[in-house]
Amino acid sequence: MIKILDKYIFRELLTPFMYSLFVLTMIFLVNFVIRAMDRILGKGLSFFVILEYIALNLAWILALAIPLSVLVAVLLAYGRLATDHEVTAMRSGGISLRRIMAPALVFSILVGSFTLYFNTTILPDVNHRARLLGSDIYRKRPDLDIVPGYFIEDLPDYNIRVNEVTEAGLKGVVIFSKSDLREQVSIFAESGRTETAGGQIIFTLYNGEKHLLDLDKLDDYQREYFDSTRLTVKVNNLELKRRDSAVRGDREMTPDMMYQRIEENQERFNRTIDRMLSIRVNSPLFNGDSIVNMLAVMDTIRRIPLPLDGIVDARTRVWNRTIDKLESQERLLNSYLKQINKYLVEIHKKYAMAVTCVVFVLIGVPLGIMTRKSSGTIGVAIGMFFIYWAALIAGEELADRRKLDPVLAMWAPNGIMAIVGIWISVQVSRERTIINFMWLKTILNPMNWTIFGKRKS
């Protein structure tokens, strides 16, 4: 049976968590919509397509907002408890800080478990669908954008100019066919209107004349007057065309998919090592000895000078050809290692982001008790999260460049923050002051110092 204290703290955590999750999601979403505005507006998209595109991109926003919402909820909840002296009352009643933190840890484990399932199962597929829809929207041509007085040259077969655009339609329409057509067409109309159907734009023109000239038979010239006529212009990608693709990036794969790719790249890596060994062993310029790590000896091989005795052009060519073969295989090795690191980084990032929910409790509870309820709580949470996120991105970049082990790169921010959180928790449980700001206040107080640095008597 859940104890009264656990229920009480759970309620204290749940409300700010849901509130902060909603607010943070809206902040991230508005920022995304502003950045994506130029890609979705002016494309003639339906409201439901725009809504689908935004909803699909909501997935990665939630992946960021959930851990940050846990941190905000913990800071607000325990800050409120500390402000109202409820933490003091609990500790006076013999309840340890670890017992006070226990409900928050259970809460973070539950949220972290959902985050882990979301990151590894739901998010990859949604990211894949969002990327496909985004590329489909990017390729879609917008509806015909008519600017009075300027020729529209984006259409495949015709150039069009309109003198005036009114609510009733178009006035002063001039249409010329492009020079690559066999029949030269010139149309002049007093007025007209447009409509789209499928991948076509239909011009309905009134009170004008049409000139036709066969470029193969220049003496075949026709001129006709019309009260009304229609001209159909085909436009590629005027409608949004959905496509499917089995090709996925690393952020669109589940961990199982990425482990499969890692095995494939590892097999290619091993085959490349075997080819490098074969090149070295079979080369007449080496002694035939085998080596274990070709990457480790490539620099050494490059520094080996050509033998001075009996150098001939043929020997030089063989040497250069051998080095070129080894260097080309070395480039393959580096590309395979980068691919392996990229997949390992993404796998461990999915797990690390879920564990972050627990880590933020370790550091958030003591900070909440220390800072108490204040207007700067949200700022502290966002600052801590962006420090964590910056460390995660830096680790990802270093791992992709093979400067840092992928596992260490993704888990180091969690480890450091967990250690700091445990240390702060120990200090708070012992009621020790971690940072004393009184000395800073004394130094900065202008009443204590003269302009020459001496105390006033």
Over the stretch 125-143, which tens digit does the pLDDT of each residue have? 999 988 888 877 766 655 5
Cross-strand pairs, 194: 203
**Residues 185, 119 share a domain:** no
pLDDT reported for residue 305: 57
- Residue 203: beta bridge partners? 194, 231
How far, in Å, CA of 388 to CA of 353, rounded?
10
- Do 181 and 112 share a structural domain? no
Helix (H) or strand (E) holding 158, with range, is: strand 158-166
- Indicate left, alpha or beta for 85 from its phi (over 0: left) and psi (-120 to 50: alpha): left
User: Distance between CA atoms of 133 and 111, rounded to whole angstroms?
Assistant: 30
Q: Residues 329, 298: one domain? A: yes
Cα distance between residue 183 and residue 334, in whole Å? 57
Q: What is the pLDDT of residues 259-300, one digit of tens each?
A: 999 999 899 888 888 888 777 766 655 544 444 444 455 555
State residue 85's pLDDT score. 86
Angstrom distance (rounded) from CA 7 to CA 223 = 88
Spatial CA neighbour of 294 closest among 323, 263, 320, 318: 323
User: Would residue 448 count as lying in a domain?
Assistant: no
Indicate if 62 and 120 belong to the same structural domain.
Answer: yes
- The residue from 203, 234, 265 where one domain ends is 234
Please, which residues bridge with residue 213 across strands?
Answer: 184, 221
Looking at the fold, whether 162 and 262 belong to one and the same domain comes out as no
Strand order of the β-sheet with 151-152 is 151-152, 158-166, 169-177, 183-197, 200-214, 221-234
Q: So what's the pLDDT on residue 373?
A: 57
Distance (Å, whole) CA 97 – CA 15: 22
| Pairwise CA distance, residues 172 & 162, whole Å | 6
- 227: containing domain: 151-234
Query: What does the alpha-carbon distance between residue 201 and residue 231 come to, in Å, rounded to a whole number?
Result: 8
Q: For residue 266, how far is the Cα from the chain centroid?
A: 26
Cα angle, residue 275 at apex, residues 274 and 280 outer, rounded to 5° = 100
Q: Whole-angstrom Cα distance, residue 205 to residue 441? A: 81
How many angstroms separate the Cα of 219 from the Cα of each of 75, 211, 214, 265? 87, 13, 8, 67
11 and 105 inside one domain: yes
Q: Which among 304, 324, 344 is the end of a domain?
A: 344
> Mean pLDDT in each 10-residue stretch from start to end of the chain (457 residues)?
78 92 92 82 75 90 92 89 86 85 92 94 91 76 66 75 84 79 80 75 86 71 84 66 72 91 90 80 55 49 53 58 77 86 91 93 86 62 81 86 88 90 84 51 47 43
**pTM, entire model:** 0.68
Same domain as 318, residue 397: no
Query: Among all chains, which residue has been given the structure tokens 């700001």?
Result: 437
Tell whether 326 is covered by a domain.
Answer: yes
The answer to whether residue 452 is domain-embedded is: no
| Last-in-domain residue among 300, 326, 344 | 344
Q: Classify residue 240: in a domain, yes or no.
A: no
User: Is the residue at 105 inside a domain?
Assistant: yes
The total number of residues written for the chain in this structure: 457
Cβ pair 395, 410 in contact under 8 A: yes
Q: What local confidence, expressed as pLDDT, does residue 452 receive?
A: 38
**In the prediction, which pLDDT does 115 show?**
94
115/190 same-domain check? no
| Shared domain check, 269 and 230 | no
Rounded CA-CA distance 35/53 in Å is 13
Residue 49 shares a structural domain with residue 81: yes
In a domain, 30, yes or no: yes
With respect to residue 242, please indicate whether it lies within any of the assigned structural domains.
Answer: no
What is the DSSP annotation of 76-128? HHHHHHHHTTHHHHHHHTT--HHHHHHHHHHHHHHHHHHHHHIIIIIHHHHHH
* Domains identified in the chain, total number: 3
Q: Which of 307, 341, 445, 379 is nearest to 72 (CA)?
A: 379
Burial code of 47-57, b = ≥16 C-beta within 10 A, e = fewer? eebbeebbebb
pLDDT of residue 19: 92
99 in the same domain as 24: yes
What is the pLDDT, as a whole number, of residue 356? 93
- Residue 43 and residue 27: Cα distance in Å, rounded? 25
| Claim to verify: residue 113 and residue 203 sit in the same structural domain | no
**Domain-located, residue 200:** yes
Q: How far apart are CA 38 and CA 42, in angstroms?
A: 8
